[in-house]
Amino acid sequence: MEHIIIPAVVLPAILMFFAGGITNAMSTLRTIFTSKKLTRPNYVLTFIDAILFAEVMKQLTSGSKGGLIVTVSFAFGKVFGVWLGDKLEDKIAIGVSEVQLFIKDKDKMKETADSLRDSGFSVTSFVAFGMNGEKRYVVETVLQRRELPIYYKLLGNLGIDEPTAKVKSLSSIQGKLIKKHTA
């Protein structure tokens, strides 16, 4: 069996790809943590990012073989990092959201609001007026952002597959959010 010889540039290129991806994903997370006023995780991420940055710069400026390939690999890693950071952000989904669901039928509004309450969500419902003064009903729900998939699944179970809704991020809330959600 012949030994496979890997060119000397492949391993550095792979490492630079992942370094670029990790640093960019960490940068995305730092931005999210900063916007949510979560400073402690930023200290750890900044320390790790500084070490990776120093190593990356050392590699890129060392004049080693495959400089252009390693640099392009790092750039592709940065693009991968944007995707990875977005996926991580979706997964941890930090924050609180307010969803205003618009429903035309009063009975459907009552059923929806009660089902959401029974599932543990904090719900307020009220009358609003749309175009030409047309009456419609609003079911306003405050929930943890990571609970949005549960919320939409529950709406689907109620036959509301394509809801007209407005989703807002809230910077803070007073009081508590009930946490026994079932879909």
DSSP state letters, 33-61: HHHTT--HHHHHHHHHHHHHHHHHHHHHH
DSSP, res 3: P
pLDDT, tens digit, for every residue of 153-172? 999 999 998 888 898 987 76
pLDDT, tens digit, for every residue of 1-59? 555 656 777 888 898 899 999 999 999 889 888 887 888 988 999 999 999 888 888 87
Domain count, the chain: 2
* Token pair of 117 as six digits: 């309450």
Over residues 53-77, the mean pLDDT reads 81
Claim to verify: residue 76 and residue 130 sit in the same structural domain: no
Q: What is the CATH number of the domain that holds 153?
A: 3.30.70.120
Name which of 98, 77, 89, 72 is nearest 34 in CA terms: 89
Among residues 92, 108, 133, which one ends one of the domains? 92
pLDDT, tens digit, for every residue of 116-150? 999 999 999 999 998 899 999 999 999 988 899 99
Domain limits for position 153:
96-170
Contact indicator for 99, 42 with CB cutoff of 8 Å: no
Q: What is the pLDDT of residue 57?
A: 84
Claim to verify: residue 60 and residue 119 sit in the same structural domain: no
Strand order across the 96-103 sheet: 122-129, 135-144, 96-103, 164-170
State the amino acid at position 54 in one-letter form.
A
Which residues does 7 contact at the CB level (< 8 Å), separation at least 6?
66
Q: What is the pLDDT of residue 108?
A: 94
Claim to verify: residue 109 and residue 60 sit in the same structural domain: no
pLDDT band for position 82 (cuts 50, 70, 90): very high
Claim to verify: residue 143 and residue 116 sit in the same structural domain: yes
Claim to verify: residue 80 and residue 20 sit in the same structural domain: yes
Claim to verify: residue 101 and residue 80 sit in the same structural domain: no
